[in-house]
Each structure stands twice: as C-alpha cells, then as structure tokens.
Structure 1
Amino acid sequence: MMEKLRHYARLVRLDRPIGIYLLLWPTLWALWFAAEGVPDFTILLVFVAGAVLMRSAGCAINDYADRDVDPHVARTKTRPLAAGLITPKEALGVFAVLSLLAFLLALLLNGLTIVLSLVAVLLAATYPFMKRFHHLPQVHLGAAFAWAIPMAFTAVTGVMPPLVAWLLFAAAVLWTTAYDTMYAMCDREDDLKIGVKSTAILFGQHDRVIIGVLQVLTLVLLAVVGWLSARGNWYWLGWAAAVGFSLYQQWLIRRREPLPSLQAFLNNHWLGMCVFVGLAADYAL
C-alpha cells in the first residue's frame, strides 16, 4: 500500500513542486490585489489548498493523456504510468478524487466563485489533450493557470472581476506561455519525432524572440495593473526584479540547449515570487 501511495505521489509530482509554485504566485497576486492587502484567512487557505490539488490533478490527467507518448521520451519514460507502475484507470481515479476535493473546497466560497470553479476543472481536464490538435497547448495551460485570478477576485468581492483582474489574467496567460515554451524547448526533438505539437515547434527559430515579446507584454501588463492600482515603491521593486529574471532567462536559452532551457523554466518561480513579495510588502508598508 505504501509503495502504491509513493507511485501516486510521483504521478502528481509532489516531488517536483515547481508547478504548484507557478500556479500559486498569480493566485496570490490576485488575492492581494482584490483584498487590497491580506485576504480573509479562509479564502486564502481555500486557494492555497486548491492550487495544490488542481496542479496535482492536472499532472494525473496529463500522464493519462500522454500514456502512449511518455514511454518514448527520455525525460518522461520513468513516470509511474509510463513505467507501468500504475494503471491508466488509477491515474483517472486520482484525477477525479483530487478534482472533487478541490470542488468541495470551492463550496466554502460564494456562488459566483463556485460557478467559475467549474470552468477551472474543464480547463485542467482538457489541456493535456490539446497538444494533439494544435500548436498552442501552452496558451491553454496559461488559461488554466490564470483562471484562478478571476476566481480570486469573485471570492473576495462577490461580484464579477473588474478590468484590473482581466489585465492580470492576460499577464498570467502570457507569462505561462513564455515559460512553458522554455519547458517545451527541452522536448522539441522528441516531440517532432512523435508528432506532438507545441509552441516551441511552432515558433521554430524565432522562439527566443517570441518568448522575449511575451515576457515584455507580461511586464507591461503588470506595470499597467500596478499603475491602475496606485501601487508604491515596494511593488515596483518587485517588478524590477521580475525584469531582471526575465533577462536572465533569455541568457539561459540563448543556445536553445535542453538543460539551460529547463533552468530558465524553473527560474520563473523566483520571478513570480518577487512580484508577490513586492506587492504584499507594498500593501503592508
């Protein structure tokens, strides 16, 4: 039984929490903007736990969708489902249980947020299959991750999200598309052989330039949100750190090598954290 639980933990990447962080930071941005400071503790707890559950559920359904692909990719062939350590039915079961738990958590929030949570589940469930139909699965992932932003605003305010929320949503979609393209650059050769689609393949030799444009647009939108919200020096200090990390990531992917591209992807955790720390400090001080 313990061995099976360890396989389930690896299935949902509890040993690799980077996805939780990348989902959590925009969620926290939204909660602090919506509440104009520290949000209600229950709402904060629901969203933090929800981020962990939904990212984990997303990993389970992703491995189910890729069960015929992962065994042929060097980076993914040791995953529990690809290695035959668990069954596809078990992976679906894990996804269903985690999604249900996340939905039960959402029931602690207001009715509008509960309705929006259904969209979140739909986005998470459909994302892994998009790489078979079009070259923009990274944008779909961006929408899935960023959907926590309008949910956070409705949870705090009880009304439909304002313009600032949708600008923040757009920034998160662009940011996710940029960093997940860096991640896709690691698998580009394998994906081409297998026939899996990605923005890394679509962008081709223009990948670095397009990632740079996405990064600039993300930073511009974060600046606009900060300006509209009349944020102060601490926010702009966090924003400036995000600019620095974006430049560093461009340096890492300059030769399009798999390992540095993965490092650039991972570095986005620090970018998201700096924006949040600057925002939280600005409201606090």
Structure 2
Amino acid sequence: MIPKSWFGFSDGIAPASSAAPLPDAHPAQWLFALTPAVWHPYIQLARLDRPIGWWLLVLPCWWSSLLASLVMRQPPQFLDGLLFLIGAIAMRGAGSTYNDLVDRDIDAKVERTRQRPLPSGRVSAGAAKRFILAQALVGFAVLLCFNKFTVGLGIASLAIIAAYPFMKRITPWPQAVLGLAFAWGALMGWAAQFGALAASPLWLYFGGFFWIIGYDTIYALMDVSDDAIIGVKSTARLFGPHVRLCVGALYGASVLCLEIALLTSGRAGFWMQAGLLGFALHLAWQVLRIDPNETSGALRLFRANRTAGLIFLAGLAAQMIQDLLF
C-alpha cells in the first residue's frame, strides 16, 4: 500500500475542490468521475485533463516516423507510434509537473493558474518531485525500446526541457525554447528507423519549431495582462498589437520548412503536398481569427492545432497507402 503521505496530504485525501476543472482544462472531466479523489491533483499536474499537450508533443514524432517509412518504402511502424504516444503522455506529464514546481510562486499570481495543485497547496513540493520521477521513469523505459542513437538523442533533449521553465524570467522568447523541446519528436521518429539523422528530419524539426512558437504565442495571449503585472516575458507581450502579423510569419516559416522537408526526402507525392496545403490553410484560418484585444478565443485557437497537425499527418498517411497499394 502506498503511504498516504506520498501524496502530499496528511490523511491522503485531497480537498473536495481538487477535481474542480481549471480554466484551460478540457470541458469533459470524465477522468475525475472514474478515479479516486486523491488522484485528482496528480491528474491535473500531469495535464491528463488537458490532452492537447500530449497531442501536440506526439504529432511531430508521428510525422517523422511516417516520413521515414515512406523514404524506406516500408509499412508504417505502428509499434514505434504506440511507444511515442506513451512516451509523449509520460514526458509531457513530467515536464508539466516540473514546470509547475518551478513556477508555483508565479502561478499563484496569475488568474488562470492560481488554482493549480501546487500554488493552491493541494500537493506538496516533495510529492510533486516524486511524481516527476515516476513519470520520467516511464518515459525512460519507453526510450530504451529504441536504438542507441535514438536513446542518446532523447536524452539530449533533457537539457532544453530543464531550462524551459526559467526562460520566461530571462527572455521574451520562452516560446522558442518550448519549440526546441516540443519539436524534438520530428527528429526521434526518423532516428528510430534510420539510427541517424538527415536533412529531411532537420527541416521537419525547423517546421515544427516555428509552428510551436506560433501556437504557444496564441496560448500566451490568455495571460498577457497578468504577465505584464508580474513581469513574466512572452512573445505575446513582445509582439503586442502586431501579434497577428508575427504569428502569420512564424506559421509561414513553418510551412516553408515542412515543404523543404518533403522535397529533401525525395518522396514529395500528391497526398503529402495536399496534407501540407491543408495544414497551411488551417494555420491561415487561425491567423485571421487572432485578436490581440480579445483573448477569450485564444484557447480555442490553440487547441485547434491538433486538427492542423492531424491534417498534415493524414497527408503522409494517404501517401503511404497509395505507395503501398499502387
């Protein structure tokens, strides 16, 4: 039996408010209905009630894995895809818990984050550290299923992940550091099959990098007012009234890099190009709806990037089906 003190509560039971949905949580809180109350703060720490994060983390992995399979002219590696999914959920949870641990004093001053488990006192710092370790061990176990090059590549990303929470105190470009971390999967999927990197996955990585800066700038619009008061830096604050133009430029750079990735792969067929076109049109739709003076729609636009990423993935998958069947 797990000691009750492990959870950070003297009696092992979270306060009744522990299941209260946070402002940026998914509206369907079915996880809380199916799990004991003591788990609820940890579900929130790991962002399991906000699945958009692991979706955005795993999509570049899947892009890269499918592109590598296309280049190798072999069926998609479904086991790799499953491992990337498990790893994305575990590492996104570990990274989010670590971020909340570092930022707990800042989060207490921001309307959107003050009810998170750490700043609200529903989880202790010690319990959060143990939870980080548990999730990281799951991620590491997944990583060990790949070749040595991929294992080393995955470990190399930890330096970026460790630095990210501190960047908002140092630079107005913390979104760029998040981009370096979240786009890492664009390298991993390729490395898992080739045991090396090439120009195509590097361009795929750059495409993911610019895409992530763009969508996280949209997300940061929700906190602009509070961030200005407490001195937290972000690209949303940096771009100010020009945020639509700047996000549009970032999205444009993303599409350009992804196009180069397809071309350098030597497998840029019709369906791949169609998927990229759909991705580009979805990003354009987002840009047209950005309003720096009205941030209530920012969360909806941010979440819409799962659809954008899936459109590009669908193009790669359709190209795979065509190549295998015809």
Judge same fold: TM > 0.5, yes or no. Answer: yes
Higher helix share goes to which structure? 1
The question of 1:207 aligning with 2:243 is answered yes
Alignment match, 1:182: 218
**Take 1:255 and 1:146, find their aligned partners in 2: how far apart are those partners?**
26
Structure 2 counterpart of 1:56, from 71, 83, 93? 93
Structure 2 counterpart of 1:78, from 95, 100, 115? 115
For residue 226 of structure 1, report the CA deviation from its aligned partner.
2.1
**Take 1:281 and 1:106, find their aligned partners in 2: how far apart are those partners?**
28
The one-letter amino acid of 2:300's match is Q
Structure 1 counterpart of 2:84, from 42, 47, 50? 47
The question of 1:197 aligning with 2:233 is answered yes
**1:252–1:227 distance in 2 versus 1, CA, 3 Å:** same
User: CA deviation digits over 1:11-67, x for unaligned, max 9?
Assistant: 111011001111111110001111226433332222111111111111101111110
Query: What RMSD, in angstroms, separates the aligned Cα atoms of the two structures?
Result: 1.5
So what's the TM-score if we normalise by structure 2? 0.83
Say whether the 8 Å CA contact 2:202–2:261 is kept in structure 1.
no
User: CA deviation digits over 1:94-138, x for unaligned, max 9?
Assistant: 112211221121111111111111122232222112111111110
**Take 2:229 and 2:52, find their aligned partners in 1: how far apart are those partners?**
27
Say whether the 8 Å CA contact 1:185–1:256 is kept in structure 2.
no
The question of 1:88 aligning with 2:125 is answered yes
The one-letter amino acid of 2:96's match is C
**Take 2:275 and 2:80, find their aligned partners in 1: how far apart are those partners?**
24
The one-letter amino acid of 2:67's match is F
Q: How does 1:265-276 map to 2 (within 5 A)?
A: 265-276=302-313
Contiguous gaps of at least 5 residues in structure 1: none
Say whether the 8 Å CA contact 1:116–1:151 is kept in structure 2.
yes
**1:121–1:4 distance in 2 versus 1, CA, 3 Å:** farther
Q: What secondary structure, in the 3-state scheme, does the structure 1 residue paired with 2:101 have?
A: helix
Q: How many residues align?
A: 284
**Take 2:152 and 2:308, find their aligned partners in 1: how far apart are those partners?**
31
The question of 1:167 aligning with 2:203 is answered yes
Q: What secondary structure, in the 3-state scheme, does the structure 1 residue paired with 2:105 have?
A: coil
Q: How does 1:249-264 map to 2 (within 5 A)?
A: 249-264=286-301
The one-letter amino acid of 2:225's match is E
The one-letter amino acid of 1:30's match is S
Structure 2 counterpart of 1:121, from 140, 158, 167? 158
**Take 2:287 and 2:145, find their aligned partners in 1: how far apart are those partners?**
42
Q: How does 1:198-237 map to 2 (within 5 A)?
A: 198-229=234-265, 230-237=267-274
Alignment match, 2:54: 20
Say whether the 8 Å CA contact 1:54–1:124 is kept in structure 2.
no
Contiguous gaps of at least 5 residues in structure 2: 1-11, 13-35
**Take 1:95 and 1:182, find their aligned partners in 2: how far apart are those partners?**
27
**Take 1:9 and 1:221, find their aligned partners in 2: how far apart are those partners?**
36
So what's the TM-score if we normalise by structure 1? 0.95
The one-letter amino acid of 1:205's match is P
The one-letter amino acid of 1:74's match is E
Say whether the 8 Å CA contact 1:99–1:121 is kept in structure 2.
no
Q: What secondary structure, in the 3-state scheme, does the structure 1 residue paired with 2:296 have?
A: helix
Q: Percentage identity across aligned positions?
A: 36
**1:183–1:278 distance in 2 versus 1, CA, 3 Å:** same
Q: What secondary structure, in the 3-state scheme, does the structure 2 residue paired with 1:68 have?
A: helix
Say whether the 8 Å CA contact 2:43–2:49 is kept in structure 1.
yes
User: CA deviation digits over 1:131-152, x for unaligned, max 9?
Assistant: 1111111011111111122222
**Take 1:224 and 1:157, find their aligned partners in 2: how far apart are those partners?**
19
